[in-house]
C-alpha cells in the first residue's frame, strides 16, 4: 500500500537531528498555559508522527473494510495491509515466523492471554509463578488471578535499593515447580533494564517458561526474541509511536500450538456447529472478533518510522538524555532518586523532600511541563520505598536537552516556592 513513509527525520541518517524529528510530531508544537509544551510523559504514551496519523486518516478515507472476511477489493486491500503490519512486527522483534505474532489490545491483554491460556494448559495446583517486585500491575494481577484459579503460588523476586533484581534470591526461588517467570524488560517506575537473556537461561534450566513485558523496552532498544530466547513477549503500540488499541504477543509455537484459545468468536474458528467447533490455526486462533486492524496498520507504519531513524541511534541519544536529566535533577538537591541501576532506560523517578509528588506535577504543569506522578501502576515498588508515589520524567526520541533544562528550571521554582 502506498502510505507516506519518507519523513523529515528519515532523510538524514548521518546525524541524529532531533529538531527535524520534532517536525514529524505536530502535537509538540503547541503552547500550554502560554508556555511551550515539554512532554515528558512518554512512559504513559508516546506522541504520534504525522506519518502514523496520516496512515490512519488515509486508511479510513480510502481503504477501510473489515479484514479476512470479504472477497471484494477493499477487504482485500485491508487484509493485505493488516498482514503486512504483522510481517513488520515479526521483523521488528526478529520472530522466526508471522504465525507467532498475535495482535491484541495491548501489553495488558497479551499478558492476560498467556496467564489464562498457558495457565489452563500448563499450570496446576502446587505449581509456582515468579514475578518481580518491580512489575507493573498488568504483570502481577493476571498471574494472581491464575494462581487463584489453579491453586498455584505467586512468588516474588525482590529488588535492592538501587532497583536491581537480587540475583541470589532469583536463583533461590527457581525450582522445578516454577512454570513461568513473568518479568519486565525495563521497569516503568525505576528505569531498570533487567538481564533478560540471563534470566531466560536460568529459568529454562528448571523447565520454566519466560514471559517478557517489553512495554517499556521496544521503543528504547533493539529487542530480538531469538537472541533472548524468551517464550513470550508483550508490548503496546501506543508506547512505540502507534495508535492506541493495539498490542502484540509473541510466543514460541511449541506453547501457542498447545494453548487453548483465550476468547471465542469470529476469526479464531475454522468451522462451527452446535456439536463441535474447530479452531483456526496460528495466529488467528488467538484473534477472536475484529482486531483493531487500523491500529495494527498504524503500528506497522510506526515501526517503519522508528527503524528509518535507527533504534541503535535512538538508544544512544536517549541514553545521553537520561544521563543529563539524572545529573541535572540530582544537582537540585533535597531529593530521593528511585532507581539507580547500572543499566537504565527511559525514565527518571524522584521525590523532593517534603513536597508531595502531586504538588510537584501540578506546579510544573503550569509551566508547560508534562510529568507523571503517583504510583505508575507499580504499588509494590512504592511500598518497597515507603512512599505514596514519585515524580517521573520519561523520554522519547523527540525530547531535547533544552527541554530538560526547562524541566530543571521548573523544578527549581517548585523548590523555591515550598
Ligand atoms: N507493563 C509496563 C512495564 C508498562 O509500563 C505498562 C504501561 O504503562 C503496561 C505493562 C501496560 O500497558 P497497556 O496499558 O498499554 O496495556
The CATH number that applies at residue 316 is: 3.90.1150.10
Co-location of 31 and 72 in the same domain? no
Query: Does the pLDDT value for residue 313 go beyond 50?
Result: yes
The verdict on 285 and 329 lying in the same domain is: no
Q: Which of 307, 327, 362 is the last residue of a domain?
A: 307
**What strands lie across the sheet with 372-374, from one edge to the other?**
335-338, 347-352, 390-394, 372-374
277-305 mean pLDDT: 97
pLDDT for 267 equals: 85
**pLDDT over 90, % of the chain:** 94
Contact 295, 103 (CB under 8 A): no
Q: What is the pLDDT of residue 14?
A: 53
Residue 12 has a pLDDT of: 43
Tens digit of each residue's pLDDT (9 = 90 or more) over 7-37: 444 444 457 999 999 999 999 999 999 999 9
- For residue range 109-139, list pLDDT tens digits in order: 999 999 999 999 999 999 999 999 999 999 9
Mean pLDDT over residues 386-400, rounded? 98
**pLDDT tens readout for residues 31-83:** 999 999 999 999 999 999 999 999 999 999 999 999 987 789 999 999 999 99
Ligand 1 contacts CB of residue 192 (under 6 A): no
Could you identify the atom of ligand 1 that is nearest to the CA of residue 236? Answer: 15
Q: Establish whether residue 100 lines the binding site of ligand 1, counting it when its CB lies within 6 angstroms of any ligand atom.
A: no
Of ligand 1's listed atoms, the one at least distance from the Cα of 44 is 8
The Cα 391–Cα 60 span in angstroms is 38
pLDDT tens, position by position, 94-114: 999 999 999 999 999 999 999
Which residues form the domain of 163?
53-307
Of 307, 340, 370, which residue is a domain's last? Answer: 307
pLDDT at 8: 46
In a domain, 410, yes or no: yes
Q: Is the CB of 108 under 6 A from ligand 1?
A: yes
Look at the chain and report how many structural domains it folds into. Answer: 2
C-beta 213 within 6 A of ligand 1: yes
245 belongs to a structural domain: yes
Q: Is the pLDDT of residue 380 over 50?
A: yes
**Averaged confidence pLDDT in the chain:** 95
Q: Which atom of ligand 1 is nearest to the CA of 186?
A: 3
Q: What is the CATH number of the domain that holds 95?
A: 3.40.640.10
Domain presence at residue 70: yes
In a domain, 182, yes or no: yes
* Best residue for ligand 1 mutational test, from 137, 377, 379, 395 (most atoms within 8 Å of Cβ): 377
Q: Is 188 in the pocket of ligand 1 (CB under 6 A)?
A: yes
Query: Residue with C-alpha cell 545529573?
Result: 327
- Residue 377 known to be catalytic: yes
Residue 175 pLDDT: 98
CA of residue 377 to ligand 1 center, whole Å? 8
**Per the domain annotation, does 1 fall within a domain?**
no
What's the CA-to-centroid distance between 413 and ligand 1, angstroms? 31
Instruction: Return the pLDDT at 15.
Output: 77
The finding on whether 112 has its CB within 6 A of some atom of ligand 1 is: no
Q: Which atom of ligand 1 is nearest to the CA of 376?
A: 8
pTM of the model: 0.96
Ligand 1 nearest atom to the CA of residue 239, by list position: 15
Q: Tell me: do 236 and 328 sit in the same domain.
A: no
Domain boundary among 286, 307, 328: 307
% of the chain with per-residue pLDDT over 70? 97
233 and 354 share a domain?
A: no
Q: How far is the CA of 139 from the centre of ligand 1 (A)?
A: 8
Residues 243 and 360 in one domain: no
Is 412 within the bounds of a domain?
yes
Ligand 1 centroid from CA 331, angstroms? 30
Domain-located, residue 228: yes
Kindly state the average pLDDT of the residues 362-377: 98
20 and 150 both lie in a single domain: no
211-231 residue pLDDT tens: 999 999 999 999 999 999 999
Do residues 373 and 297 share a domain? no
> What confidence score (pLDDT) does residue 10 get?
44
Residue nearest to atom 14 of ligand 1 (CA): 108
Which of these is catalytic: 377, 385, 400, 413? 377
Structural domain contains residue 363:
yes
pLDDT at 1 over 90: no
**229-257 residue pLDDT tens:** 999 999 999 999 999 999 999 999 999 99
pLDDT given at position 5: 43
User: Are the CB atoms for 84 and 1 separated by under 8 Å?
Assistant: yes
Amino acid at each position: 500500500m502506498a502510505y507516506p513513509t519518507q519523513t523529515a527525520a528519515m532523510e538524514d541518517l548521518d546525524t541524529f537531528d532531533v529538531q527535524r524529528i520534532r517536525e514529524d510530531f505536530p502535537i509538540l508544537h503547541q503552547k500550554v498555559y502560554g508556555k511551550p509544551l515539554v512532554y515528558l510523559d512518554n512512559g504513559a504514551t508516546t506522541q504520534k508522527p504525522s506519518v502514523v496519523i496520516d496512515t490512519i486518516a488515509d486508511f479510513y478515507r480510502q481503504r477501510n473494510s473489515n479484514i479476512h472476511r470479504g472477497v471484494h477489493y477493499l477487504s482485500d486491500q485491508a487484509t493485505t495491509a493488516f498482514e503486512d503490519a504483522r510481517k513488520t512486527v515479526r521483523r521488528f522483534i526478529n520472530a522466526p515466523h508471522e504465525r507467532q505474532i498475535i495482535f491484541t489490545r495491548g501489553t495488558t491483554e497479551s499478558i492476560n492471554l498467556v496467564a489464562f491460556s498457558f495457565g489452563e494448559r500448563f499450570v496446576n495446583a502446587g505449581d509456582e509463578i515468579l514475578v518481580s517486585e518491580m512489575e507493573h500491575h498488568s504483570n502481577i494481577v493476571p498471574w494472581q488471578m491464575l494462581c487463584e484459579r489453579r491453586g498455584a503460588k505467586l512468588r516474588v523476586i525482590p529488588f535492592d535499593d538501587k532497583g536491581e533484581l537480587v540475583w541470589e534470591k532469583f536463583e533461590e526461588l527457581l525450582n522445578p515447580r516454577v512454570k513461568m517467570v513473568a518479568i519486565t524488560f525495563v521497569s516503568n517506575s525505576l528505569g531498570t533494564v533487567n538481564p533478560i537473556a540471563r534470566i531466560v537461561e536460568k529459568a529454562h534450566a528448571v523447565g520454566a517458561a519466560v514471559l517478557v513485558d517489553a512495554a517499556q523496552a521496544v521503543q528504547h532498544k533493539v529487542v530480538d526474541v531469538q537472541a533472548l530466547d524468551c517464550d513470550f513477549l508483550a508490548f503496546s503500540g501506543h508506547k512505540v509511536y502507534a495508535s492506541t488499541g493495539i498490542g502484540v504477543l509473541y510466543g514460541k509455537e511449541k506453547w501457542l500450538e498447545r494453548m487453548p484459545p483465550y476468547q471465542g468468536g469470529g476469526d479464531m474458528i475454522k468451522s462451527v456447529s452446535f456439536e463441535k467447533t474447530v479452531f483456526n490455526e496460528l495466529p488467528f486462533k488467538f484473534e477472536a472478533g475484529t482486531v483493531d486492524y487500523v491500529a495494527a496498520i498504524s503500528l506497522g507504519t510506526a515501526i517503519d518510522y522508528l527503524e528509518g531513524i535507527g533504534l541503535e541511534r535512538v538508544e544512544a541519544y536517549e541514553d545521553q538524555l537520561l544521563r543529563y536529566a539524572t545529573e541535572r535533577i540530582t544537582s537540585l538537591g533535597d531529593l530521593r532518586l528511585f532507581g539507580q541501576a547500572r543499566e537504565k532506560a527511559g525514565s527518571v523517578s524522584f521525590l523532593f523532600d517534603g513536597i508531595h509528588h502531586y504538588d510537584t506535577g501540578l506546579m510544573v504543569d503550569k509551566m508547560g511541563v508534562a510529568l507523571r506522578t503517583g504510583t505508575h501502576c507499580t504499588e509494590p515498588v512504592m511500598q518497597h520505598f515507603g512512599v505514596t508515589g514519585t515524580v517521573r520524567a520519561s523520554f522519547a526520541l523527540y525530547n531535547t536537552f533544552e527541554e530538560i533544562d526547562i524541566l530543571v528550571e521548573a523544578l527549581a521554582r517548585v523548590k523555591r516556592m515550598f
